[in-house]
Homo-oligomer: A and B are copies of this chain.
Amino acid sequence: MDDRTYTADAEPGDTVTVAGWVHEVRDLGGIAFLILRDTTGKIQVKFEVEEMDDDLVETGLNVHRESVISVTGDVEEEPRAPTGVEVTPASVDVISEADPELPLDPSGKVDAELSTRLDNRTLDLRKDEVKAIFEIRAEVLRAVREQFRELGCTEINTPKIVATGTEGGTELFPITYFGQEAFMNQSPQLFKQLMVGSGLERVFEIGPIFRAEEHNTPRHLNEATSIDFESAFADHTEAMDACEAVVKAAYEAVEENCQDELVALDLADEFEAPEGDFPRLTYEEAIERINATGELDEPLVWGDDLPTEGEHALGQDVGEHYFITDWPSEIKPFYIMDKDDEVSTGFDMMHPEMELVSGGQREHRYDHLVDGFEQQGLDPEAFDYYTKMFKYGMPPHAGWGLGGERLIMTMLGLGNIREAVLFPRDRQRLSP
């Protein structure tokens, strides 16, 4: 698009104009090197102080780090240069001068706290290993959408401003909407279900969700990216198959297309796409295995939700992605179909470190669904826009929601989920 040459494309013998950021200037006396960085890499620019025009040398050696410049000159082979080539400049143009004091060092030589990094994301993303996270994130989204299309899904976009939350009034951000009370949606759950009863039958959505949870942990966000799937005429086992296919497709695409990024993150050797089927443990097996690890002070009993330490102990024990199925009905949402009086079709898909996915077959029977709302203490009337469609031919259906940032975080072993978001939102952070 722009007519500069990317640094990665500069070949010996070419005369090029390269443009980007001043990564570093090393003045060795009679000779000086400026390292120019652009999105494709870095290139060495050589200044021979005695032999070159004074203005040119002065410009090149006095420009502040992280300024934007363009350099025109001949590319020559130079085995001692980092990329094997260097540019001898005929002209240097300072396009956008940087302040000499930077709030963050993009060369990475000086470590920065996460909060400083997030306050200065523009500079932070000039580091190869940070940029790599977001190149991988983009590739994951691409691969996931492609896999959904292979599964026969239609992409949908559902509203983020809603009259009611999915599971009632807790944990919702209220909005003033033309004088009416409204909320930012915490999940596309109800809308994607409405779509499986339409002619679309099988849908996916990747979009923002908003949760007013007062968590303050390394794995919760108040605005996150949800990857949602829902299919007519599917049961929970088929939804699990789709879930496994999507997660594997994400890993495989990163393995295939992001080797440079994995190198930048120092993950090239250890990164592996999951192979084989994800084990499917029942809830009962899960609590038995957790109890057997002896990691919990109190053994778990039927009906307990899994505490974080329990999830962690089980994750260590299993050592790969796995499902937990056959959850007690009472700890799964009312819109999940029950298998019998005690056990539901709900499932979770787990990375050894944390839960990634929650799903199940849905309750598609109108009377049961309305009863569910009432048992939950919710007013079915308020959800009439949703429930009434269940009276007009709603097929059996199943689906799930996958936390996009958790997928990236666990895939890349990031210590904090905020590292997987350009501009995270939490209780303390509202800008940038």
Contacts and interface: CB of A to CB of B under 8 A. Distances in A.
A67 B395 CA distance: 9
Interface stretch (A50-58, A71-79, A121-129, A350-358): A121-129
B395 A1 contact: no
Given A225-B157, A233-B19, A393-B98, A431 B207 contact: no
Question: How many copies altogether?
Answer: 2
A26 to B, nearest CB: 19
Interface residues of A, number: 108
A120 interface: yes
A373 B234 CA distance: 54
Nearest to A152: B1
Interface in A148-200: 149, 151-152, 154-164, 173-178, 180, 182, 184, 190-191, 194-195, 197-200
Contacts of A380: none
Contacts of A122: 194-195, 197-198, 389, 392, 394
A1 B207 contact: no
Given A138-B156, A152-B1, A395-B68, A128 B199 contact: yes
A138 B155 contact: yes
A4 to B, nearest CB: 6
B393 A2 contact: no
Interface string A376-392: 00000000011011011
A396 interface: yes
A175 B181 CA distance: 11
A96 B393 contact: yes
A282 to B, nearest CB: 22
A223 interface: yes
Interface stretch (A84-92, A328-336, A409-417, A419-427): A419-427
Given A68-B394, A96-B396, A142 B161 contact: no
A102 B68 contact: no
Contacts of A67: 393
B159 A223 contact: yes
A200 B430 contact: no
A394 B96 contact: yes
Contacts of A228: none
A177 B430 contact: yes
A393 B20 CA distance: 9
Shortest Cβ-Cβ A-B pairs, 4 listed: A125-B198, A385-B432, A2-B233, A131-B199
Given A95-B396, A178-B427, A208-B208, 9 more contacts: A39-B201, A95-B395, A98-B392, A135-B154, A142-B155, A145-B145, A161-B425, A174-B175, A178-B212
8 contacts: A95-B395, A96-B393, A98-B391, A122-B195, A122-B198, A141-B155, A159-B223, A191-B422
Interface of A: 1-2, 4, 19-22, 37-39, 66-68, 95-99, 102-103, 119-128, 130-131, 134-135, 137-138, 141-142, 145, 149, 151-152, 154-164, 173-178, 180, 182, 184, 190-191, 194-195, 197-202, 207-208, 210, 212, 214, 222-223, 225, 231-234, 238, 241-242, 364-365, 385-386, 388-389, 391-396, 421-425, 427, 430-432
